[in-house]
């Protein structure tokens, strides 16, 4: 089945291309762009056999590659995907194509470095989702910080240095404790393989310490209240393409980390501390939703909305423990979290791209600078309204599916959890639609707005593709859920068995 090392190809192709693009030098920007586009498309095409060849009837790792890397530390180059990782890899390759396309005309400074950084980032993110060796995971997890640091810092807005250093230090600080936890687990079990780590029996105290170390890493990444403050800054200062990748994929790594590490390795601690995580998630959903409402900057608003939506992901993951105790539909909670991650990948990417479209024309992101955009940009207006609706969780769009699944399963756990999380349907609608109302509708606000030109073919294409994805996932999410069903089932078996 695995004669041609598909996963390695997915990881190494962008890396090699990135170095080739770097070697092109600053004077051949057009060639660099073409080359980057080619690589991104090729990677996307390569992920089709990944989807096609994936066997959704088993929870075992597929497309496995396992080569010894550092024998004296027992670190292996061990790749593989299951139903949880596979959709996220496809999401990554898909979004990367769109980001490369979105940066086509916008970036004029050091184009080759920009493209190389994006391809490196793509490779690292695919690597994170494939890695079955904890140390390999950690290497990819950390290595993606440097390209992102440069993307925000070199091509970002006026306050970019502050934002990017904050981003870096937050995420770096979060993850180093995970490193110690991983080393500790290695000492206990003698292996860095994630699946072996899940087998080690640990006392509750040990589990709680390890859980906290993991939690710090992933909560910063996803990000959860109260360690979310780096995200709005990073989003506001990042170039559009950077924001898109950050929101659409990098945040998902936090959620993926919870599912891959925290739940199977420390099930008892997760169960013990699920209440705290659920509380933090609900705070994120409600409180951050309210904060989003008062934002004046569109990107900041979407950033806060991302945090609020990520609250659903953590809620879905940890409500599973409450459901295990009560005997509810645990699968639905975890599947809902996964669907929410993929769906948010599409929607947040689309929203940031919409803001990018406006920003490229007006060079401001302030809501107050706009008004009546629909009069000059009808096509854009339509897309923007559509994506804002899906962000608010309109039925028929992908935003609805995940949220609804999670709200339903939290209803089984506790009425008040469901009540609080359902508030997002109101708050989400409020901040999304209010933003749309102020930006798109109403009187033409200024001379500048009246001179706006509608979207180019390139921009329309990007948003149309995303709109199709959002609608497709919203109307018929079954293929996605089908892929992950068995893997989620396996995960639930792992978390219901106590390790103490």
Partner 1 sequence: MFGWSELTPVLPELIILATACTVLVLGLFTTSEKGGLLVLTSIAGVIFAAIATAKSHMGTHELIKQVLFNGNFVRDYMGDILKITVYFIMLFVFIYSKQYLRNKNIFKGEFYALMLFGLLGIMIMISGYNYITLYLGLELLALSSYALVAYDRDNTASNESAMKYFILGAIASGMLLYGMSMIYGATGTLQIDQINMAISQSNNSMLIVFGLVFILVGVAFKLGAAPFHMWVPDVYQGAPTATTLFISSAPKIAAFAFAVRILAQSLEGVFDQWQHIVAVIALLSIIIGNLFALQQTNIKRLFAYSTISHIGFMLLGFLGGADGYSASMFYIITYALMSVAGFGMIIVLSCKGFEAEKISDFKGLNQRNGWFAFMMLLIIASMAGFPPLVGFFSKLYVLKAVVDQGFYVLAGIAVVFAVIGSFYYLKIIKVMYFDESESDQEITAGFDVKSILSFNALLQLALLLFIPSILNYCIKAIDTL
- Residue ranges that bind partner 1, judged by CB under 8 A: 22, 25-26, 68-73, 110, 113, 135, 138-140, 142-143, 145-146, 149-150, 153-154, 160-161, 164-165, 168-169, 172-173, 176-177, 179-180, 183-184, 186-187
CB of 134 to partner 1, least distance (A): 12
The residue (of 3 and 27) whose beta carbon lies closer to partner 1 is 27
Minimum CB separation of residue 24 from partner 1 in Å reads 11
| Residue bearing tokens 């409020």 | 430
Q: Which is nearer to partner 1, 113 or 270 (CB)?
A: 113
Q: Choose among 90, 142, 120: nearest CA to 16.
A: 120
CA neighbours within 13 Å on the CB side: how many for 254? 28
Smallest distance from partner 1 to CB 333, Å: 33
Contacts of 171 (CB under 8 A, 6+ apart): 145, 220, 221, 230
Closest approach, Cβ 335 to partner 1, in A, equals 32
80-100 b/e (C-beta count within 10 Å ≥ 16 → b):
bbbbbbbbbbbbbbbbbbbbb
Instruction: Confirm if 217 and 137 have CB atoms less than 8 A apart.
Output: no
Rounded least distance, CB 137 to partner 1, Å: 10
Minimum CB separation of residue 218 from partner 1 in Å reads 17
214 vs 400 by CB, closer to partner 1: 214
Give Cβ neighbours of residue 11 (< 8 Å, ≥ 6 apart): 79, 123, 126, 127, 130
Pick between residue 110 and residue 460 the one whose CB is nearest to partner 1.
110
Between 1 and 23, name the residue whose CB sits nearer to partner 1: 23
Other Cβ atoms less than 10 A from the Cβ of 216: the count is: 18
Check if the beta carbon of residue 255 is closer than 8 Å to that of residue 219.
Answer: no
Dump the DSSP string for 313-361.
HHHHHHHHHHHHHHT--HHHHHHHHHHHHHHHHHHHHHHHHHHHHHHHH
Q: Which is nearer to partner 1, 67 or 276 (CB)?
A: 67
In the complex, minimum distance from the CB of residue 168 to partner 1, in angstroms, rounded to a whole number: 6
Nearest distance from C-beta of residue 173 to partner 1, angstroms: 5
Residues 6+ apart with CB under 8 A from 146: none
Tell me which residue of 415, 391, 412, 386 sits closest to 403, measured CA to CA.
Answer: 391
Q: How many CB atoms are closer than 10 A to CB 478?
A: 10
Q: What is the DSSP string of 120-162?
A: HHHHHHHHHHHB-BHHHHHHHHHHTHHHHHHHHHHHS-TTHHH
68 bridge partner residues: 76
Structure tokens at 89: 């890899």
Nearest CA-CA partner of 462 in 244, 309, 239? 244
In the bound state with partner 1, the residue whose beta carbon lies nearer, of 110 and 496, is 110
Distance CA(257)–CA(103), nearest Å, equals 29
What's the closest the beta carbon of residue 138 comes to partner 1, in angstroms? 7
Residue 236 CB, nearest approach to partner 1 (Å): 16
Q: What is the spatial distance between Cα 90 and Cα 135, in angstroms, rounded to a whole number? A: 23
Nearer to partner 1, 75 or 251 (CB): 75
For the bound state, the minimum distance from the C-beta of residue 61 to partner 1, rounded and expressed in Å, comes to: 22
Considering the complex, state which of residue 48 and residue 70 has its C-beta at the smaller distance from partner 1.
Answer: 70
Of 177 and 411, nearer to partner 1 (C-beta) is 177
Whichever of 169 and 325 has its CB closer to partner 1, that residue is: 169
CB closer to partner 1 out of 160 and 235? 160
Minimum CB separation of residue 410 from partner 1 in Å reads: 35
Shortest separation between residue 99's beta carbon and partner 1, angstroms: 20
Whole-angstrom Cα distance, residue 13 to residue 46? 10
CB 495 within 8 A of CB 271: yes
| Exposure letters 130-158 (e unless 16+ CB within 10 A, then b) | bbbbbbbbbbbbbebbebbbbbbbbbbee
Nearer to partner 1, 120 or 273 (CB): 120
């Amino acid at each position: 089945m695995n004669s041609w090392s598909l996963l390695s190809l997915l990881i190494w192709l962008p890396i090699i291309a990135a170095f080739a693009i770097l070697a092109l030098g600053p004077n051949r920007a057009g060639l660099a762009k073409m080359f980057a586009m080619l690589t991104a498309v090729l990677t996307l095409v390569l992920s089709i056999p990944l989807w096609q060849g994936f066997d959704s009837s088993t929870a075992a790792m597929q497309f496995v590659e396992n080569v010894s890397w550092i024998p004296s530390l027992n670190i292996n180059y061990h790749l593989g995907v299951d139903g949880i990782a596979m959709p996220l890899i496809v999401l990554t390759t898909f979004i990367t194509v769109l980001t490369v396309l979105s940066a086509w005309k916008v970036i004029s400074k050091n184009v080759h470095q920009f493209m190389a950084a994006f391809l490196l980032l793509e490779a690292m993110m695919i690597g994170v989702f494939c890695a079955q060796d904890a140390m390999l995971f950690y290497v990819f997890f950390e290595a993606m910080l440097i390209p992102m640091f440069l993307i925000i810092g070199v091509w970002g807005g006026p306050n970019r240095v502050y934002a990017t250093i904050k981003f870096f230090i937050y995420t770096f600080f979060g993850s180093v404790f995970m490193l110690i936890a991983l080393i500790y687990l290695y000492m206990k079990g003698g292996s860095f393989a994630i699946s072996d780590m899940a087998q080690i029996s640990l006392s509750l105290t040990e589990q709680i310490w390890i859980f906290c170390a993991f939690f710090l890493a992933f909560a910063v990444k996803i990000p959860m209240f109260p360690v979310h403050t780096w995200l709005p800054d990073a989003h506001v200062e990042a170039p559009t393409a950077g924001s898109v990748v950050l929101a659409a994929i990098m945040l998902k790594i936090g959620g993926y980390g919870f599912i891959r590490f925290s739940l199977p390795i420390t099930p008892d601690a997760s169960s013990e501390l699920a209440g705290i995580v659920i509380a933090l998630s609900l705070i994120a959903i409600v409180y951050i939703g309210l904060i989003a409402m008062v934002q004046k900057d569109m990107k900041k608003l979407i950033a806060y909305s991302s945090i609020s939506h990520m609250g659903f992901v953590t809620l879905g993951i940890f409500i599973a423990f409450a459901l295990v105790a009560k005997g509810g539909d645990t699968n639905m909670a975890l599947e809902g979290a996964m669907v929410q991650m993929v769906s948010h990948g599409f929607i947040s990417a689309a929203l940031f791209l919409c803001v990018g479209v406006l920003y490229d024309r007006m060079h401001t992101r302030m809501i107050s600078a706009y008004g009546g955009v629909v009069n000059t940009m009808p096509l854009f207006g339509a897309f923007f309204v559509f994506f804002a609706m899906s962000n608010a969780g309109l039925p028929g769009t992908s935003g609805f599916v995940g949220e609804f699944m999670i709200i339903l399963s939290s209803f089984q756990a506790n009425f008040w959890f469901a009540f609080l999380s359902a508030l997002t349907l109101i708050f989400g609608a409020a901040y999304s639609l209010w933003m749309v109302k102020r930006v798109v509708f109403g009187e033409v606000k200024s001379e500048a707005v009246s001179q706006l030109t509608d979207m180019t073919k390139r921009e329309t294409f990007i948003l149309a593709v995303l709109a199709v994805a959002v609608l497709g996932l919203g109307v018929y999410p079954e293929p996605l859920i089908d892929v992950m069903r068995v893997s989620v089932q396996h995960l639930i078996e792992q978390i219901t068995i106590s390790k103490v």
